[in-house]
Structure 1
Amino acid sequence: MAAPLKQLCFAVLRQTVRPFSSTCAVQAGRKWRLENGLAWTGSEYGPLTDLPDWSFADGRPAPPLKGQLRRQKQREDFARRAVNLNAEVDQGMRTWRANKEEQEREREQIKSSMLKPKGKLLLKNKNK
């Protein structure tokens, strides 16, 4: 009796074993979204994540959800950082230009303080 029970168990196990797949369902459509300039996942931004899920019957908007507030704060921080970095670049460019002008002034001052040709050389240089 033990042998038929053992065969029955093996038969049941063989039928319940399913093939294993290692593909990830989350990446479905990822390539298409990237090719079309969208986020690599479908839930990073857009109306489904940014707009409220519901509103009151009288037309008042629903209070924002935690995720919406978090994304709004992240966007504000990103914008603030971009403005600060842009200001730093502008300041760096102004400093660079000021240094360049100062070097040019020094070069002109050195040139003007050099000895000038006299006599025939002066007349020769004026004619050129």
Structure 2
Amino acid sequence: MPSPTPPKPTASELELLRILWQLGPATARQVHDAIAAERPDLTAATVLRLLQLMHGKGLLVRDESLRAHVYAPAQPQDAMQTNLVSELIHKAFSGSGKALILAALRGHVSAGERAEIKAILDGDKAP
């Protein structure tokens, strides 16, 4: 039996996951404090509700042993990114990883990043 496909996060959920990957396990207050500068529209109550919904979807695990629950991503960042990229390749690029890379290189990579990618491909640098 194949393993179930992990849930796909919304844009707002990805923002909170990014914060949690940076912070490590954190309370809703800590997550709110970390995101408040870039998203002042998110109240503490909204962050808490999003975290609760994400826990319900299986995107987060929650430690309920303390009064303030501590949330952590259910998947490591690289695993989530791999799943999202795989889905994007399948849906938008007809399964072609090469087409995805070429599209990214055409408009979303700086000259410095291109040089770094070239060095990696040429074997000059470890990733």
Query: TM-score of the superposition, structure 2-length normalised?
Result: 0.20
More strand, by proportion: 2
Q: Larger Rg: 1 or 2?
A: 1
| Greater relative contact order structure (CA < 8 Å, 6+ sep) | 2
TM-score (norm 1): 0.20
Q: Which is helix-richer, 1 or 2? A: 1
